[in-house]
Amino acid sequence: MRDSPVLLIFLFLSGGLLAHADRAAALTLAAALAAAYEDSPVLEAARADLRSLDENVPIASAGQRPQVGFSTSTSVSVRSSSDTPEGTHVSRSGIFVQQPLYTGGRVDAASERARLAVSLARARLEAREQDVLLAAVETYTDAHFAERRLALALVNRDRSERILQNARDRYRLGGSTGTDVALAETHLQQARAEVEHKRAELTTARVHFGVIIGLPAEGLEAAMEPEGLPPSLDEMRGELEDHPELRAAGLAVELADADVGVADSSSAASMTLNGAAFYVDQPSEDVSMEPDIRLGLVFDVPLYRGGADRARSRQARQARSAREHDFRAERRRREAELVSAHAALESVRQRLSALEARRRVARIAIDGLRQEAILGTASMTDVLDAEETLFETEIDLELLAQERVSAAYRVLAATGLLSARRLGLDVSHYEPDHHFEQVRSGWFGRKSDDETTR
């Protein structure tokens, strides 16, 4: 019977839909990293903190802009005399303006400090991004390789069941002893316990996966080492200067230096232009809406403030010295972390090669022992020991394969190259300049786009 065209079309479409569903169910490491980047509470909090620091720039700039206000007042006074009390009513309404002419460098120092604080927060945001992505990598590999280790444990359990069944069959035929059966039963119990242990590990890994990445840990594809990893340690050191943690430490020194400028400027002289324009209404004196315009200069010179100004200057200089030492210490930490991460990656690669050779030997040995067991020249203990050695080797290989991926990403983080942009993740990248440019030079208060969307 020939298939009808309608049936063929249905089968074709249903097959395509099933294949599409399988592809949709799969989750790659890149997709998991993208999800962690876009939905991380840690990053969202750091971004909000950065936007709050952006506002310090217009706050500092406001110190050299005019201050305008409106004032109105009404007063009534009563004078008593020996004859008849007299009342006086006065109303004043108008505006006043204050324009700083000279601030002794306070505004410039505060503005510079605000800009440096923003730069420092941006560097720390990049560092938090690295932390989030590295945590996502390790969570992904934990869940993926936990699945693989569970699969190996299930295969080992099935092998143990077959060994036990063979031992029982041979025992009934007189080809093995009760001891062989007991050993096989014990080995099966151990294999079943190992399955439950690996299943518990997988459950824990999936819970952590949901916390860090925010997606169910299902259909995870194999994770590979990242592309673009510098090939040598010397090239990695060349990237180290742009590490966000090291840049943050350097910017902390500059920020402390700006604090010195702020402290020094607090004792400088200042000059302010004050102006006011009022209308005065005093009916008792036949004065109706009479203008009152005033203009004046205020020159302020601090002479003595109890020594607090000098103390703040000394304090700021000591804080700057501390940040300089912090920068030196951070450079050493970054260098040590890079060397350690590189050595760990090279070590795990070498151990993987050695363990793969060991697995090949273990497979050859187990095949030979199985044949010898059939012929009766190998004991049940020999076979079970060989099976256990093969299983442990396969588990160790999976652990090392996981460690290799994590170690490669740790090297990328140690060089400062672990970011959503450098990894080419398909995400909407956060642009800190967007909010900063909205608020940095505004003369009037208004909502920024990020107040409601972030």
Which domains are seen in the chain, by residue range? Answer: 31-75+94-337 (1.20.1600.10)
Contact call for residues 420 and 427 (beta carbons, < 8 A): yes
Q: Return the residue matching tokens 């700039």.
A: 61
User: CA angle 113-305-58, nearest 5°?
Assistant: 25
pLDDT at 78: 66
- Which residues does residue 287 pair with via DSSP β-bridges, in sequence order? 282
- According to DSSP, the β-strands at 86-102 and 67-79 are antiparallel
Q: Return the residue matching tokens 């009037």.
A: 444
In the structure encoding, which two tokens stand for residue 172, read together? 């009934």
pLDDT at 366: 82
Does the reported pTM lie above 0.75?
yes
pLDDT tens profile 230-258:
888 888 888 888 999 999 999 999 999 99
For residue 15, name the pLDDT band (cuts at 50, 70, 90).
very low
Q: Is pLDDT of 425 > 90?
A: yes
Q: Is pLDDT of 396 > 60?
A: yes
CA 127 vs CA 10, 91, 132, 214, 280: distances in Å = 52, 60, 9, 21, 61
Q: Is pLDDT of 267 > 90?
A: no
Question: What is the distance between the terminal CA atoms of the chain, rounded to a whole angstrom?
Answer: 63
pLDDT at 381: 81
**How does the average pLDDT of the chain come out, rounded?**
85
pLDDT at 81: 57
Contact call for residues 338 and 413 (beta carbons, < 8 A): no
Q: Is pLDDT of 121 > 90?
A: yes
Q: Is pLDDT of 400 > 60?
A: yes
Look at residues 140, 149, 129 and name the one whose alpha carbon lies nearest to residue 214. 140
Residues 310-340 as b or e (16 or more Cβ within 10 Å = b): eebbeebbebbeebbeebeebbeebeebbee
Q: Which helix (H) or strand (E) holds 185?
A: helix 178-213
Read off the pLDDT of each residue in 58-80 and give the average, rounded to a whole number: 83
pLDDT tens profile 304-348:
888 888 999 999 999 999 999 999 999 999 999 999 999 999 999
pLDDT at 37: 95
Contact call for residues 300 and 272 (beta carbons, < 8 A): yes
